[in-house]
Amino acid sequence: MDVEQGRRLPLAPGQGERPDGHGGWSPRVRRLVEETHALCESWLEAPLRACLLDAEHKLFGQAEQARNYMDQQVHMSVRVRLQNHREMLERRFFAELAGRFEQLGSRTQSDAPLTLSLLDDGEDDERAALEQAGVRSEARHAPMLFELSYRYGALTSLPPLEGEDLPLGAQSLSRCFLDALRDWELPIRHRLLLLDAFDHMVVRHLASLYETVNQHLSGEGILPHLHAYRVARPGEGRGLRIPTPAVPGSVPAGAAPPPLELGDNVLDMLRELLALQRAVAPPPAPAGQALSDDQLQHLLAALQAPLAHAAQRVAAGGQATQLRDQLLALLNAGTETSAPKLSLSARQDDTVQLVALLFDQMTSAMQHDSHAYRLLGEWEVPLLRMALADRDVFDQREHPARRLLAAMADAAHDWLDGNESDADRSLATKLTQLAERAQREPPSAALYTSLLTDIEHHLSLLSRKAQATERRQVEAMQGRERLEHARRHAAELMAERFRAAPPRGLVRTLLERAWSDVLALTLLRNGEESDTFAARLRITDQLLGLAPVDDRNALLDDIQTGLQQIGMQAEEAAQVARRLLGNPDDAAASDDGLSATGVAMKLKQHQRLGEHQATEAAPLPEPAKAAEPPSEEERRVRARLLTLPFGTWFDFLDEAGQVARTQKLAWYSTVSGRCLFVTRRGTRGDEQALEQLARDIVQGRAREAIAPRENLFDRGLRALMENLRPGAAHAGGRQ
């Protein structure tokens, strides 16, 4: 394989020779190094872009799951920086890679002084992640790395290159990636996140690069007859790495099958498991001409609508394995009897049945009238086309098709609750548009990456709206809490004065119904140590006769001002104040035509401070007034609740023990013991005392929701593997 000479650039700008101390390279060696560097750089362009896009998705996911607003802001700011400086990061990475090739074969010892940097937890975690990436890559690409290390050693007249000495090695490439990030001063958790994205999108797929470079060097005469043979380790078997029973479909008595792990060759494992299931009753051999992959994709695109309807009928009937027969019937519809029939190859046949069984597993726990169930039905044929075009759908955890399907199902389950709100309609429209696009365009990883970015952007808008709504609910709850504390404190101060000088009827009504709210509002606005609050307390003492009245008109004005601050009209406040301070024969009071009974009625009809919020959420009973004293277990649970961070999700169960609703603990008070739950959209949910929540948890009416460790696709895949494995209770079909 040749590389155009005109496109090759010097490895280090402005340098035509190797640095001092490396020895001279012959023109042939120099050419081969430059050519392999060019091959490596060309191959890495697309995976590196996919890596950065994957890191953006992971940062977005962490921001969505953040427990507080500060962490969410940090994740989003790093994501924005990554979006804005993506090209600069790529240039730095390739510059670091060029430096590695320039120093190929150099094994100079570092003159840097010894430091205690190894004691830093972040650097230690980073170094461990690099070593693990190298170990996994060596295990995954051992034969090709073996040949590559020997060929580069022969090229540079050195022993075989390993670890970071090999520029194309996993450790070297990962180190280049981290060095490209060194000026960003990112937190260690974000550096590890980016390194994990690099490992998933670049390092795990280096096999094709290694094969290309090995072929190029072999063709140039660098160890052309070198071949690496894999040596089996003791006890290592082929295929599934699980003991195969003597009789297919059975396991030894009393022995549970070992759990299957999702690895890098999931499709091969599933095909072997499917073959074991067929061993008891082999299917009839396919008759007719097998379709090529391109022909099958073309026909699937043409049969998109009828095959989707057939898939829904098959799923509704619980016979997922019949989708293959439905597909063959559609492919051969209208074919003359004498014409050869179309059939599927063995790989195509297995893929069709595995996709049908996978969707059967994913929808088995869903209600048939739910949005998530209907949505998955629209994606079965597009995913079948993608799986036929790219086997990595099964083998790669971070494949965009798998992530998209999981994101779509979660969006339908979490946001489409049937309320027909604007958010519901906009999201339902967006999901429909994405499904139609997937059905219309040819399947590719780029298509599903674009669809994933689109739905994540839409969900981020809904999430931000929900966060703003939730913030308003929490602020309102905190305001109610402060108001309640102020009213209680004002009532305590008023009760002390009532004991010293019990008031008469009208004065008592004014103080209890209106002036106590004036004191509470003054506490909220000015604080207990303010001069304004001291002046309001003096007015209280003057009304009770505990303090002399120096200026009757000033006192009248102060009472009117206070009453107006709690929402009383100016004329009404003046009437109440004059009637309160005036004598029975006072001419000003008698001119109002307002008797003591009329004043009392006005005060009782007046809306008290905070009553408009009480209509939205009824006041909670105080914890001290609970019907039953809490048990030791309830007190222990309540103490643990006070350690939970805001944002913890809870499931509330019905009488049958099923999850009736899931809500988020948005706020609780350690003083009053109140807690507020919100829905997924941030609207107000349940509001109760922590004692009641602890009692519900102990009695099994509520529980802390545990997020699944795997997404819907991975859970369905694992369930499919367990269902197909030897010894499963039901072979094929729906369990």
Report the pLDDT value the prediction gives residue 310, as an integer from 0 to 100: 59
Q: Where are the extended beta strands (E) located within 15-171?
A: none
Average pLDDT per run of 10 along the chain, which is 735 residues long?
39 40 68 86 85 84 74 81 84 88 63 48 71 74 79 80 80 86 80 84 81 82 70 39 38 45 71 73 58 77 67 51 68 63 79 85 77 80 86 84 86 69 74 87 87 87 86 86 85 86 78 82 86 87 83 85 82 78 50 59 64 47 57 89 86 84 86 86 86 90 80 83 64 40
Q: Compute the Cα dihedral for 235, 238, 242, 246 and give only its sign.
A: negative
Q: Which of 303, 294, 284, 296 is nearest to 342 (CA)?
A: 296
**Composition of the chain by helix, strand, coil, percent to 5:** 60, 5, 35
In the DSSP assignment, the letter for residue 418 is S
Q: Report residue 277 as tokens.
A: 């299931």
Residue with tokens 């009695």: 699
In the DSSP assignment, the letter for residue 344 is -
Q: How far is CA 11 from the centre of its chain?
A: 41
Q: Which of 251, 256, 248 is nearest to 276 (CA)?
A: 248
Q: Identify the CATH class of 628-704.
A: mainly beta
Q: How far is CA 496 from the centre of its chain?
A: 54
Burial of 657 (0-12, 13-18, 19+ CB in 10 A): exposed
What is the C-alpha separation between 666 and 647, in angstroms, rounded? Answer: 5
What is the C-alpha separation between 645 and 657, in angstroms, rounded? Answer: 26
Sequence-separated (6 or more) residues with CB below 8 Å from residue 145: 137, 138, 166, 169, 210
β-strands 648-653, 702-704 pairing: antiparallel
DSSP string, 551-596: -HHHHHHHHHHHHHHTT--HHHHHHHHHHHHS-TT-HHHHHHT--H
Report the pLDDT value the prediction gives residue 20, as an integer from 0 to 100: 39
Report the pLDDT value the prediction gives residue 605, as an integer from 0 to 100: 60
Start-end of H helices in 303-370: 304-317, 323-331, 346-363
In the DSSP assignment, the letter for residue 116 is S
Domain map of the chain by residue range?
A: 5-105+120-219, 266-278+289-334+342-469+716-724, 475-609, 628-704
What is the C-alpha separation between 115 and 124, in angstroms, rounded? Answer: 13
Sequence-distant contacts of 55-60: CB under 8 A, at least 24 apart: 55/82, 55/193, 55/194, 55/197, 56/82, 56/83, 57/403, 57/452, 57/453, 57/456, 58/193, 58/196, 58/197, 59/190, 59/193, 60/456, 60/460
Report the pLDDT value the prediction gives residue 304, as an integer from 0 to 100: 67
- Other residues' Cβ atoms within 10 Å of the Cβ of residue 668: 19
Report the pLDDT value the prediction gives residue 25, as an integer from 0 to 100: 73
Report the pLDDT value the prediction gives residue 111, as an integer from 0 to 100: 43
Assess contact for 178 and 191: CB atoms under 8 A.
Answer: yes
Report the pLDDT value the prediction gives residue 610, as an integer from 0 to 100: 60
Q: Report residue 709 as tokens.
A: 């460790």
Sequence-separated (6 or more) residues with CB below 8 Å from residue 254: none
Instruction: Provide the residue type at 692 as one letter.
Output: Q
pTM over cut 0.85: no
Report the pLDDT value the prediction gives residue 597, as an integer from 0 to 100: 67
Q: Compute the Cα dihedral for 709, 714, 718, 719 and give only its sign.
A: positive
Report the pLDDT value the prediction gives residue 203, as an integer from 0 to 100: 83
